[in-house]
Structure 1
Amino acid sequence: MRVFQYYFMPMEDAQNIDALLSNCRELFNSEVNICLDFIRHLQVDGLKSAYREKVKQCHPDKARALGVSSDILKRTFVRISNAYETVLPYVTGEKDINRLITQQKKPSLRHDADQRQGQEQSVKKRDLWHTGSMPRKKLRLGTFLYYKRLISWQTLQEAIAWQRSHRPLIGQLALNYNFISVNDLNTIFLNVAPGESLCAVAKRLGKLTDHQIQTLLNKQASYNFRIGRFFIEMGLFSEREIAALLGSCTGHNRSVI
């Protein structure tokens, strides 16, 4: 079984950059050169203006006038809203765009198969690896692999970030639950202050209650992809090895009941 750590841009940052640029392109015309520097200099008013223009073209209330299905326009509106919700925190400063720019400028050092053995030890020195015994408590698969010293702490964090990145956005969930209307979501988006989260705005405007917000956050957290898929996609373990490790993790958890 292979035990190594890829040394390159953290998975969370790589996924955030890809998602950020892709969603920003949804909001701006193709003539705009979308890059991280563009987003760094983007102002909230500029983002809101681009969002307004896109919404004018796809608001479900325009279905009859445009002669198209309101369901089609709603799906387009949700896609534009998700794009806006993804980009907004980096423009307001809630998330750090400068850190992504720094990570993007770092050299990418991906391991080829013939390099792994020689580089494994140097990578371990730069990362945190568990050195103690296996704790006597129930563990999730990712944590179990860390305590078994099969993955590093950094790899565990990247796997968790990957899992979280596949969750649906709060705005989309609020629409799905009929907690808010399309117009409510539009109002929430256009009233976000710098550093303010979407849930905080919705509460301030009286669009969502504390109970509804907690329901949405719990539902969002429940949409977790199986973390084993991350390790397989990264080439750390094969499907057969993950299946065997899941069995070992289950056995461990039964032994500590």
Structure 2
Amino acid sequence: MSVVFKASEVFDACRVLFGPDIHLSYEFLDYLQTSGARSAYRQRAKEVHPDLVNGEDESLREQHAQMFHQLAEAFEIVTGFLDTRLIAPTQPHTRPQGRQSSNAAAEEKTEPPKSRSSEDRSGYYRGGVPARPMEIGLYLYYRGAVGYRDLMEALLWQRKQRPSVGSIARRWGWLSSEQVQSVLLGAQVGRFGARAVDMDLLTPFQVQTLLYFQRCRQQRLGDYFVEQKILTAEQMDRLVAQLADHNRRFRSRDPQRHAQRAAS
């Protein structure tokens, strides 16, 4: 599933990148380009880089190091958002109260829990489940089991628990801090791993290993919905089993295409 960023998270990163006085709006995000984010990052890096205070008070150097780390994280969030915003799910329709899901005839319907109000649970998908394999988050959304805002919150919750690919590669000794920064500042477009491969800093196998380790360090998306009492553990288990059947059904229809996608 493509990473979906929460607007407030992107706004906070923009404040770090462009300064606290920047006027932020959704229109600003619409017009923001990677070149502008990169230019702002380079300018701010010249102001907060730890090397600027070599020989100075150690506490001042640590402060600059922390600011530079926050700047690098903000740049990664903003550029990640710019890479994926065109394929993020569009705002869905709200499901009217009392309306039965159109998916009920095809698959067992999961009732929304009574403990959450209809206003909180707005943003339910009202179409059919796409006839293709998918991951659990999108399946829950397309089944009408969770709302759009619930899904966004869950993805953000999951994302905050996992380390960045660059930090893992640096910890394993595969990339130096300077190389991580060169990937973030490079002219290549795309996700961090793809850019590192394009720059001959990592191999595709290393990127796959890093991504696998990153996924292993995060909690399952379904845990969020159970913890927040959006779904019960029994409902979640049932939906996971139904997803397995769904994916098995559509993968078996075109196994060659699925094998090609898995290898890409």
TM-score under structure 2 length normalisation? 0.60
Match of 1:95 among 84, 90, 99: 84
How far apart in 1 are the matches of 2:70 and 2:104? 38
Counterpart residue number, 1:76: 67
How far apart in 1 are the matches of 2:41 and 2:26? 18
Instruction: Tell me which amino acid in the other structure corresponds to 2:216.
Output: S
How far apart in 2 are the matches of 1:36 and 1:131? 38
Residue pair 1:162, 1:230 contacting (<8 A) in 2 also:
no
How far apart in 2 are the matches of 1:98 and 1:127? 27
Change (3 A) 1:225 1:66: farther
1:6-25 residue pairs with structure 2 within 5 A?
A: 16-25=6-15
Change (3 A) 1:227 1:247: closer
The Cα of 1:97 is off from its aligned counterpart by 5.1
> Within the alignment, does 1:39 sit opposite 2:34 as a pair?
no
Residue pair 2:41, 2:75 contacting (<8 A) in 1 also:
yes
Counterpart residue number, 1:192: 187
Counterpart residue number, 1:207: 201
Instruction: Tell me which amino acid in the other structure corresponds to 1:215.
Output: T
The Cα of 1:127 is off from its aligned counterpart by 8.4
Counterpart residue number, 1:67: 57
Match of 2:159 among 162, 165, 171: 165
How far apart in 1 are the matches of 2:6 and 2:226? 20
> Within the alignment, does 1:51 sit opposite 2:51 as a pair?
no
Counterpart residue number, 1:124: 101
Instruction: Tell me which amino acid in the other structure corresponds to 1:172.
Output: S
Residue pair 1:163, 1:225 contacting (<8 A) in 2 also:
no
> Within the alignment, does 1:30 sit opposite 2:20 as a pair?
yes
How far apart in 2 are the matches of 1:34 and 1:51? 17
2:24 aligns to what SS in structure 1? coil
Counterpart residue number, 2:249: none
How far apart in 2 are the matches of 1:98 and 1:248? 28
Structure 2 gap segments, 5+ residues each: 110-135, 242-264
Change (3 A) 1:65 1:50: farther
1:122 aligns to what SS in structure 2? coil
Counterpart residue number, 2:258: none
Instruction: Tell me which amino acid in the other structure corresponds to 1:76.
Output: M
1:155 aligns to what SS in structure 2? coil
How far apart in 1 are the matches of 2:40 and 2:46? 10
Q: How many corresponding residue pairs?
A: 204
The Cα of 1:20 is off from its aligned counterpart by 1.5
How far apart in 2 are the matches of 1:169 and 1:154? 30
Task: State the identity as a percent.
Answer: 22
Cα deviation 1:193-228 (Å, max 9, x = unaligned): 34x322222122222233332221111111222445
How far apart in 1 are the matches of 2:9 and 2:105? 28
1:221-232 residue pairs with structure 2 within 5 A?
A: 221-232=215-226
Residue pair 1:60, 1:74 contacting (<8 A) in 2 also:
yes
The Cα of 1:27 is off from its aligned counterpart by 0.5
The Cα of 1:74 is off from its aligned counterpart by 3.9
Cα deviation 1:215-246 (Å, max 9, x = unaligned): 21111111222445422454325xxx54xx49
TM-score under structure 1 length normalisation? 0.61
How far apart in 1 are the matches of 2:32 and 2:207? 29
